[in-house]
């Protein structure tokens, strides 16, 4: 397995809308990419990772919201079928290391996707997992959590983020 590079804001690829994966392209090579993405996500201590965050133009994200990191979820060509309620909670992102902000999301979601074997499934969930689904699906649509912030809040978080990145480059 290979750890992949997580693209950092403001990389232009993070604004790209990903292309669907043709079911016939779900093969061992794609499954290896999925394993590489899990390795990367775990190494970065994240709960989810979209293919666009590692420079791959494909509608694919992975998640593992479990404490023991033993409940892998693969979502190929995911779509949200239904959502209910609203919750405003803190959110971070591997592409924006060191900063977080409160983001409004649906409280409950129902998603349909394909797994790593091309089998269709549906998932109904709320809480952290529901938030993660919405966050990662946004990435596949070229949207970051920064895009959900007010201009003032975005400017404040961007300033903090830029200082962190500058300090990291100097060290």
- State the catalytic residues: 136
What whole-number distance in Å separates Cα of residue 147 and Cα of residue 102? 12
**What is the per-residue DSSP string for the chain?**
--PPPPP-TT-GGGGPBPPPPPGGG-SHHHHHHHHHHHHHHHHTT-SEEEGGGGT--SSEEEE--STTS---EEEEEEEEEEEE--EEEEEE-TTSTT-EEEEEE-SEEEEEEE-TTS-EEEEEEEHHHHHHHHHHHHHHBT--GGGGS-HHHHHHHHHHHHHHHHHHHH-
């Amino acid at each position: 397995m290979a750890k992949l590079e997580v693209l950092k804001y403001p990389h232009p690829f993070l604004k790209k809308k990903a292309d669907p994966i043709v079911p016939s392209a779900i093969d061992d090579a794609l499954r290896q990419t999925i394993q590489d993405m899990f390795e990367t996500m775990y190494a970065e201590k994240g709960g989810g990772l979209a293919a666009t965050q590692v420079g791959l133009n494909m509608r694919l994200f992975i998640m593992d919201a479990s404490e023991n990191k033993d409940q892998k979820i693969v979502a190929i060509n995911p779509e949200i079928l239904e959502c209910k309620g609203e919750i405003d909670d803190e959110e971070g992102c591997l592409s924006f290391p060191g900063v977080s902000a409160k983001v409004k999301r649906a409280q409950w979601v129902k998603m349909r996707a394909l797994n790593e074997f091309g089998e269709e499934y549906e998932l109904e969930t709320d809480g952290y997992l529901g938030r993660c689904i919405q966050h990662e699906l946004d990435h596949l649509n070229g949207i970051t959590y920064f895009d959900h912030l007010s201009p003032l809040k975005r400017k404040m978080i961007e300033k903090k983020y830029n200082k962190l990145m500058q300090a990291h480059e100097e060290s």
